[in-house]
Chain A
Amino acid sequence: MMKRNRKANRIRSASAKLVVAALAIALLAGCSGKPKSDDSSGKPFPKLQLLYNISESHKLIAETLQQMWKKELGIQVDLANVEWKTYLKSLQSLDYQIARAGWIGDYPDPNTFLDMFVTDGGNNQTGWSNAEYDRLIKAAAMEGDADERMKMFHDAEEILMKEMPIMPIYFYVNKNLVKDFVKGMHFNMRDLHILKYVYLEKNGKVLPPQEQVFHFNLSAEPETLDPGLMTGSVEFTISTQIFEGLVQYDPDTLEPIPGMAESWEVNDDHTEFVFHLRRNAKWTNGDPVTAGDFVYSWKRVLEPETTAEYAYQLYYIKNAKKYYDKEISDFSQVGVKAVDDFTLKVTLDSPTHFWLDLLAFHTLMPVNKKCVEKFKDKWTRPENIVTNGPFKLTEWKPKSKLVMTKNPGYYDAANVRLTKLVAYSVEDNITAISMFEAGQSYWVNTIPLPYSEKYMNDPQAKKTDFLAVYYYRFNTTKEPLNDPRVRRALNLAINKDELVKFVTKSGEKTATTFVPYMHMRGYEPPKGEDYNPEEARRLLREAGYAVKTGK
């Protein structure tokens, strides 16, 4: 069994009080004099097991759910925690009953959330399959009309919520801590920080250039600095400062704005893009950034030997997957062409509405051919690396820090005010907060649970809705969770408002549906089901189980 934690007990007693109060009110209001708890017709509900990966907050949430299910439905749930890789393995081999999960969108479009649940999708991991759902997701991918497309996603999500192979809990909130003298930090739905907009100001005065040094914590050692090979957000935080793609993100809205490309044209059905590169963009070795650099970089990612894990981000390009699979060997058949040094033409397989959003992603950032070919595996070392972003890498002490200095050759250098970035790779988040409190770093990208009350109303704490959802997966292949009524009952028995208020405590929005709709252009989510224990019990009975509650 789990070790009980004082905080959890406090929450439990708080929620117990609330439930008791609610019950009392219900009784006073003259509902049935006797709680509907003695219904013992039907088979007993088997004990369930809930799996989560080791973390204090996952544990608290799991314990809360365990209590709620026991209280409302009389269901016993055991908690099992395992380390990360074991957890991933259990999910992939469907060796679990209920498991916590989280999903961060790659771009603000329902597709990045919904396409994972198609039959046999690698990220499905629930065993769930629905032909109509598959059809809708596939049709949406081919649809040129934006409204029609969103309608299809709406219908698909409606099916998902009715069948409930997954149970959304809440939409994540980003919690950043930033010193008050740091100006120009933007907080957006992907927790993406573009530091070229940042500057330091004390007593109403912008500090002189030599004092514009920004210290912050990265929270881990980057796995690689090769944008083509990157997979994580830590790496992305670095690549965003030292590289720049065809487009870059608007720091607030994350709409694509001109980057290496000054302007572009799109055909009507979003399959053909022509980019006009700016003439004053330079690599740190002095060479101009050309259309050929993008062709080279994307070809490199699509070469299987490069082993880019995110190569599939380029599959939208015509024939790109065929090239990866070696069905074609001539790269000129792939839909990327340098018309001249400053014009790049991209042809896609099918209409892709979020293609521009993807262009600022690390996988599609350009790398310098001369540098990569000359230094091979060692090209990302500070002494070798050639980049094209607002900052350049000058020092990389593994597991300690990365130092980046302003790139004077950057086309917009006049508007970059920070002269130096020092990124620490401290993993322990308590140490990271201590560094912040001691004034050694000016920005931390997470507030650990023990500190959440301390910084609840602190002006240094910045909270923004994240393009991500916290949810639970059900293994739909095994009894009793193969019955959608049981899955829906489990969902209805959870008081998510209470969970967010007393457990996570960071102003998260509860989720009755899966897609973080507030970030989606033109997307209308289906109506989700709210907390309704009465209906939950009814569904369980309908599924043939005896419901015993009210202990």
Chain B
Amino acid sequence: MAKIGLDGHDRGVKVVARALRDAGFEVVYTGLHRTPEEVAVAAVQEDVDVIGVSILSGAHMALVPPLLDALQARDAGDIKVLVGGVIPEADRAKLRDLGAAAVFDQDASTDAVVDWIRRHGVRSEE
């Protein structure tokens, strides 16, 4: 679970991280103010199945594409990126087109996130 950019609102990401922990997931928390590069490096080193980025600053269109690119550059394009936060309707489809696996707005329940990761998140072993 990651916070990218200048956005300092970390209540939501912590609530979701906690919900995932309680659902039995191992959650790596990156802390605030990360760059897309830092998140990509952490995701590769930790070999995660899913990256959850929480963006409440409105900068999602500027921050998500560089994260997706940074993953591609590390041969890690198969790591699913889940975007959560204050995301206007019109941008959700755009983010999915760009390669985000799912977008959850601020009204989504933690159960919905847990359920999505259970169904789509866990990478199959090769």
The answer on A and B forming one complex is no
